[in-house]
Amino acid sequence: AQKITQTQPGMFVQEKEAVTLDCTYDTSDQSYGLFWYKQPSSGEMIFLIYQGSYDEQNATEGRYSLNFQKARKSANLVISASQLGDSAMYFCAMREKYVNGGATNKLIFGTGTLLAVQP
């Protein structure tokens, strides 16, 4: 079964510093997608970044980059120049495209990392 593992329940980072949030995944599929979502204290789920399993370049979106190491099955999120507004829960997720030959496109989530940015 597909699984996402986030081993850091909580992280602290100083404002303006970079931080890496870890994510490892387990799948037997050749084609899959990896996502990172941010959930601030207000509760909404905010999409940050996506990496496809066949993408050769690491994905980047502004201050967010995804360090994709396919052989190690890791998809770590790097936030550069942290801001106070980055304090939130961060979820790594993987898309499971098919189950028993039928398309499902289910998102499987990790347990999350709570990031606190300190001034």
Partner 1 sequence: NAGVTQTPKFRVLKTGQSMTLLCAQDMNHEYMYWYRQDPGMGLRLIHYSVGEGTTAKGEVPDGYNVSRLKKQNFLLGLESAAPSQTSVYFCASRAPTGFHGYTFGSGTRLTVV
Pairing of strands 74-79, 19-21: antiparallel
> Interface with partner 1 includes 36 (CB under 8 A)?
no
> Interface with partner 1 includes 35 (CB under 8 A)?
yes
Site map 54..93 versus partner 1, x via CB under 8 A: -------------------------------------x-x
What CA–CA distance (Å, rounded) separates 45 from 39? 5
Residues numbered 4 to 23 that lie near partner 1 (CB under 8 A) are: 4, 6, 9
Closer CB to partner 1, 85 or 102, in the complex: 102
Residue 19 amino acid letter:
V
> Interface with partner 1 includes 44 (CB under 8 A)?
yes
CB of 15: closest distance to partner 1 in angstroms? Answer: 27
